[in-house]
Amino acid sequence: MGNEVRLADLAVRIGARLVGDGEVVVTGISPIEEAGPGQVTFLSNPKYVRYAKDSKASAIIAREVVPGAQPAFLLSDNPYFAFACAVEVFHPPARPAPGVSDKAVVEPSARLGRDVAVSPFVVIQEGAEVGDRTVLFPGVCVGKGVSIGPDCLVYPNVVLYHGVKVGSRVILHAGCVIGSDGFGFAPTPDGYRKIPQVGTVEIEDDVEIGANTTIDRATLGVTRVSRGTKLDNLVQVGHNVVIGRDTVIAALVRDRREHADRQPRHDRRPGGACRPSRGGGRHHAGSEVRCSRHAARLGIPNLVGSSGDAAPDLAPDGGPASEAAGTLPPREAAGGRQTTEGEIGTCSLAGRS
């Protein structure tokens, strides 16, 4: 059971306009074909208007009122965003209480900000910095000289190698590894000689990195994940890659640096989009990054996935329970830039020899 809230108050909190009785109390949110009395649901794709007409929900988040529907309406120009805000109202994030567990290992030279939560079996090595209100869950390893900004969530068993920099409001899901060595070896008559990887990784503000994703440190310089980027689980980012702002990459994608003397497999188009390869066949997981016509329609030029023409979780076709996931709003015009020639974006930069 979620929190109880009046529809009038909910409308204010999610930035929607209420059409209906503001005194009705709701306690949760459910898919449009399942929601009942006391629950809110959402509609962002006209394909599922038929469910709205028969819905027993107390209110529907939508762009416009559906004629013949009985529930109240919470109207928004961006119902999917309003839906996300409503989920947070009913299910506010829970954070551990601030404090440092006596089972954690914190070197004396490490610096912790205000209201930091350090769970059991966390290791924070010398010279590391952890920003205000950041949470380190059990088993996190923060290497020598690592910098973590404020308001971050670092989930269990994340490893941050030495010298890595993490910005503000970053979410690192369980088991991801940031700053391990890039895959660089020099061939010799006696075998392969490891090339020292002496660069670093920088994760900018408002980035989210999925479980068991790995990001290699640069050979020289920086591997960079720019502001607002979202990486799914099981993504591998190679050394010296630069991922542009507000990029979304789906699971099982491998990104690596593009050689200067090669052109990407897809033809580039103005505005950061590209032409998908023909044939329509599925690609092996992790073999290449494909561009998304779906993303181009939505004005999100930096959406990439491991197979098909759209990233799996962002353009589902599995039914009304997830229908709104196919209607992500366009990226704010002032909020980013196009991914450029030397960066990972919508074109095929991985899995090629």
Domain CATH code at residue 126: 2.160.10.10
Q: What is the mean pLDDT of residues 319-327?
A: 37
Can you give the residue range of the structural domain that contains 67?
5-90
Comparison of pLDDT for 326 and 168, the residue scoring more? 168
Q: Do the Cβ atoms of 94 and 74 come closer than 8 Å?
A: no
Q: Count of residues for the chain?
A: 353
- Say whether pLDDT at 311 is over 50: no
pLDDT of residue 94: 87
User: Within this chain, do residues 63 and 106 fall inside the same structural domain, yes or no?
Assistant: no
Tell me how many domains the chain contains: 2
Last residue of a domain, one of 90, 107, 129: 90
- Say whether pLDDT at 87 is over 80: yes
10 domain-assigned: yes
Q: Do the Cβ atoms of 201 and 178 come closer than 8 Å?
A: yes
pLDDT of residue 133: 98
User: Within this chain, do residues 258 and 163 fall inside the same structural domain, yes or no?
Assistant: yes
Q: Which of 253-257, 338-342, 348-352 reaches the highest mean pLDDT? A: 253-257
- Tens of pLDDT, residue by residue over 93-108, are 888 999 999 999 999 9
User: Within this chain, do residues 206 and 245 fall inside the same structural domain, yes or no?
Assistant: yes
User: Within this chain, do residues 49 and 162 fall inside the same structural domain, yes or no?
Assistant: no
pLDDT of residue 47: 87
Last residue of a domain, one of 49, 64, 90: 90
User: Within this chain, do residues 53 and 168 fall inside the same structural domain, yes or no?
Assistant: no
Q: What is the mean pLDDT of residues 166-184?
A: 98
139 domain-assigned: yes
Nearest to 95 by CA among 149, 124, 132: 132
Place of tokens 């591998």: 236
Last residue of a domain, one of 70, 90, 110: 90
Residues 6+ apart with CB under 8 A from 263: none
User: Within this chain, do residues 141 and 27 fall inside the same structural domain, yes or no?
Assistant: no
User: Within this chain, do residues 259 and 141 fall inside the same structural domain, yes or no?
Assistant: yes
Nearest to 71 by CA among 5, 24, 120, 139: 24
pLDDT of residue 274: 32
Q: Which residues are catalytic?
A: 239
pLDDT of residue 253: 67
185 domain-assigned: no
User: Within this chain, do residues 64 and 141 fall inside the same structural domain, yes or no?
Assistant: no
- Say whether pLDDT at 36 is over 90: yes
Secondary structure class of 311 (helix, strand, coil): coil
27 domain-assigned: yes
Enter the pTM of the model: 0.75
User: Within this chain, do residues 302 and 217 fall inside the same structural domain, yes or no?
Assistant: yes
CATH number, domain with residue 20: 3.40.1390.10
Q: What is the mean pLDDT of residues 226-252?
A: 96
Q: What percent of the chain has pLDDT over 90?
A: 68
Gyration radius of the chain's alpha carbons: 23
